[in-house]
């Protein structure tokens, strides 16, 4: 869910940046960035699963597995506990979308805008994008 929201915002960011830079084939660059975001996010989700299974020990028991007809979620007994567990869960949840966003930022900066790599250039246009979104919700009074 978080990754989907970040992907939509990232696609809007690339579209708006490409339109302002007057780049040819704007929608193709948006599609390339969306695919790159999705690939990076998918790879990191798989990497997170690998890490979690290696920490857990990889054993599959009846407390973990659910049958195909059951409604509900898996019973993850003995998972992360305490403050470290909460921080690890947050990290594993947020790392794939953030890494996807960073990959899109690099592609946008290098290939779409053709600017040098600085922190300001890498994340430029985000404020303007959110201001544009804010302006789109305003209505005119008559």
pTM of this prediction exceeds 0.85: no
Please give the pLDDT value at position 77. 47
User: Where does residue 78 fall: left (phi above 0), alpha (psi -120 to 50 degrees), or beta otherwise?
Assistant: left
Please give the pLDDT value at position 103. 95
Start-end of H helices in 1-125: 2-20, 26-56, 82-107, 119-122
Per-residue pLDDT of the chain (142 residues; tens, 9 = 90+): 788 899 999 999 999 999 999 999 999 999 999 999 999 999 999 998 888 888 777 555 555 555 566 555 554 445 556 777 788 888 888 999 999 999 999 999 999 988 888 888 889 989 988 998 888 888 877 6
Check if the beta carbon of residue 32 is closer than 8 Å to that of residue 107.
yes
Q: Single out the residue of 129, 27, 45 nearest to residue 93, CA to CA.
A: 45
Please give the pLDDT value at position 96. 93
Please give the pLDDT value at position 7. 92
Please give the pLDDT value at position 73. 53
Please give the pLDDT value at position 37. 96
| Alpha-carbon gap, residue 41 to 99, rounded angstroms | 7
Degrees (nearest 5) of the Cα angle 99, 101, 102? 65
């Amino acid at each position: 869910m978080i990754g989907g929201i970040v992907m939509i915002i990232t696609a809007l960011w690339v579209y708006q940046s490409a339109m302002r830079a007057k780049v040819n084939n704007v929608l193709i660059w948006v599609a390339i960035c969306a695919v790159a975001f999705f690939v990076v996010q998918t790879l990191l989700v798989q990497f997170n699963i690998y890490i979690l299974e290696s920490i857990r020990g990889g054993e599959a028991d009846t407390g973990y597995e659910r049958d195909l007809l059951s409604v509900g979620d898996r019973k993850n007994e003995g998972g992360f506990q305490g403050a470290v567990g909460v921080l690890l869960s947050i990290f594993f949840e947020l790392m794939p979308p953030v890494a996807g966003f960073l990959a899109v930022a690099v592609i946008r900066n290098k290939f779409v805008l053709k600017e040098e790599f600085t922190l300001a250039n890498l994340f430029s246009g985000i404020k303007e994008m959110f201001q544009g979104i804010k302006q789109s919700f305003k209505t005119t009074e008559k």
